[in-house]
Amino acid sequence: MKKKLAFATITLITLLIVGLNNTVTAQNVKTQQEEKLTPNDPKYTGPITEQEFAEGYTEHWFKTGYKEYNPSHKTIKKIKHKIKKYTIKAFMGTWCPDSRREIPKLFKLLDKAKFNKENLTVYAVNHRKQTEAGYEDGLNISRVPTIIFYNKKGEEVKRFVEHPVESLEDDILSIVAGDDYINYLEQKK
């Protein structure tokens, strides 16, 4: 009888602990889903604009990187006439040193080339290279920044991954000129 009572007591305590744990977990999930993060929050994932980079917690590194970058005028001139045929998707981590180095440069290069920014979308990703809404699904984003160039048919042409092979502007010129560009990650294989 004592064994049955002890077993019943242990079972009851275990069920209460599991039940309380599930309740707390469900409440945490609900709280996270209800919490609407904005691009000014370090945990935010999703589309992020140049203006949003220039404000809040990303302001210092974005503005500094933009200001200090001076792309070659000769290369910009070559890029300017070719890049208009493309749309660009960039995936980056606001936490990532490579992204913090290359994304301000990308914006400045596109400004100098007078690229229509309506043809550019930048997405902030988490450490797993994912966004809450799945913008990266099917795109094989394994390193950031990843800058993907699409032709007007929406087909991927080439991508810049993580580090430049030469320099950001030379790599982008190779991509938009239709050269046989092999990005940093592919070269490491």
pTM for this prediction: 0.81
Closest CA to 185 of 156, 161, 159, 149: 161
User: Which band of pLDDT confidence, cut at 50, 70 and 90, is reported for residue 126?
Assistant: very high
pLDDT band at 184, cuts 50/70/90?
confident
Q: Report the chain's mean pLDDT, rounded to a whole number.
A: 88
Q: What is the pLDDT of residues 41-68, one digit of tens each?
A: 899 999 999 999 999 899 999 999 999 9
Q: How does residue 185 score in pLDDT terms, banded at 50, 70 and 90?
A: confident
Asked if 184 contacts 102 with a C-beta cutoff of 8 angstroms, the reply is: no
Separation CA 12–CA 9 (nearest Å): 5
Q: Mean pLDDT over residues 29-40, rounded?
A: 63
Where residue 36 falls among pLDDT bands split at 50, 70, 90? confident
How would residue 17 be classed by pLDDT, with cut points 50, 70 and 90?
low
pLDDT of the residue at 188? 80
Report, as an integer, the average pLDDT of 130-144.
Answer: 97
List, edge to edge, every strand of the sheet that includes 87-92. Answer: 46-47, 120-124, 87-92, 146-150, 156-161
Are 156 and 89 a contacting pair, CB within 8 Å?
no
- CA 163 to chain CA centroid, Å, is 14
